[in-house]
Amino acid sequence: MKNIWGIDLGGTKIECAVLNPKTYEVIVRKRIPTEAAGGYDHILNQVQKLISSVSEEAEEMPTHLGFGTPGVLDPETKVMKNCNTTALNGRPLNKDLEALLKVPVKLANDANCFALAETKMGAGKNYPGAEVVFGVILGTGVGGGLVFNKKIINGHHGIGGEWGHNVLEENGYSCYCGKHGCVETVISGPALERRYFELAGQSLNLSEILKKHESHADAEATKVIDRLLENFGKAISVVINIVDPDLIIIGGGVGNIDLLYTEGYERIKKYIFNSGRFNATLCKPLLGDSAGVFGAALL
């Protein structure tokens, strides 16, 4: 059986991993800069350059390639959308990659790759009975991926799992997606830091705000952390009401805040449609920054 190949196409780096398909042992793993400012064609050339280099080390060429992307391929138009690497938007990335690399290519949003990898190789291995898994990205942005029976649910429009762009505050801040008050504008790391600045007139990063809250020395810091916990409970309850996952895995920098798994867990009970009862599992991921490229290989 041939090794499986994955590419994590990020805004700042492109990473390739070659895995044993049975054991998931890493055969080769390598990354290079994306250099996205060079434009679409340059990004494709960087991908080709990386695959050529990895092929030499692995002493084989890929027969198929999985790609984790910072957006999604629209199932109808067959072009990319919602990419924060904006050079990809409106481009037939799947078609162009197959023409360039001469192998079949499968694309998935990076949050979907995270969810798939953590389900099959990471935290999900500790919960083998979990049939429905929701993988959360809670960091600079807010995204998610839905996995059912170890398969990604992309959805009719390719936006399955995109809870970060549900409206949470109707008159809230404008979001790059064109709406106002999206989950991402309320509980992402930058949104919480912005809130602290508004309250305290001082710029602190989220870890510093958390320390001030934990020391009970700063009422404004406590307001920001309470804002996170309350709105996390409210926002994730929408996902739970619709797909009722067995397991929720929370990645991203904000997901490192331990209070999400205790006080945040309790806030969920206020909002789900289950008479205040909630006993599904929330946990942290285990694969770190490997999840994206591993999930791409698993495609």
DSSP E strand stretches across the chain? 4-9, 13-19, 26-33, 65-69, 72-73, 80-81, 105-109, 132-138, 142-148, 151-152, 247-251, 281-283
Mean pLDDT of 34-55: 97
Tracing tokens 């500790």 back to the chain, one arrives at 126
Asked if pLDDT for residue 1 goes beyond 80, the answer is: no
> Dihedral sign, CA of 251, 257, 259, 262?
positive
Mean pLDDT of 84-112: 96
What CA–CA distance (Å, rounded) separates 90 from 296?
Answer: 21
Mean pLDDT of 125-152: 96
Using DSSP's 3-state secondary structure scheme, residue 249 falls into strand
Nearest to 136 by CA among 297, 285, 280, 266: 285
Mean pLDDT of 36-57: 97
For residue 224, the model assigns a pLDDT of 98
Mean pLDDT of 98-112: 97
Asked if pLDDT for residue 127 goes beyond 90, the answer is: yes
Mean pLDDT of 262-276: 97
> Binning pLDDT at 50, 70 and 90, where does residue 48 land?
very high
Residue 287 gets which letter from DSSP?
Answer: S
Mean pLDDT of 69-93: 95
The least confident of 49-53, 82-86, 200-204 is 82-86
Percent of residues, the chain, with pLDDT higher than 90: 98
Residues 6 or more apart whose CB falls under 8 angstroms from that of 96 comprise 44
Residues 6 or more apart whose CB falls under 8 angstroms from that of 172 comprise 180, 181, 182, 185, 186
CA–CA distance from 210 to each of 189, 206, 223, 224 (Å)? 11, 6, 11, 9
**For the segment 178-207, what is each residue's pLDDT rounded down to a tens digit?**
999 999 999 999 999 999 999 999 999 999
For residue 210, the model assigns a pLDDT of 98
For residue 84, the model assigns a pLDDT of 85
Percent of residues, the chain, with pLDDT higher than 70: 100
Average pLDDT over the chain, rounded to an integer: 97
Rg (CA), the chain: 20
For residue 114, the model assigns a pLDDT of 97
**For the segment 153-174, what is each residue's pLDDT rounded down to a tens digit?**
999 999 999 999 999 999 999 9
Centroid of chain to Cα 95: 24
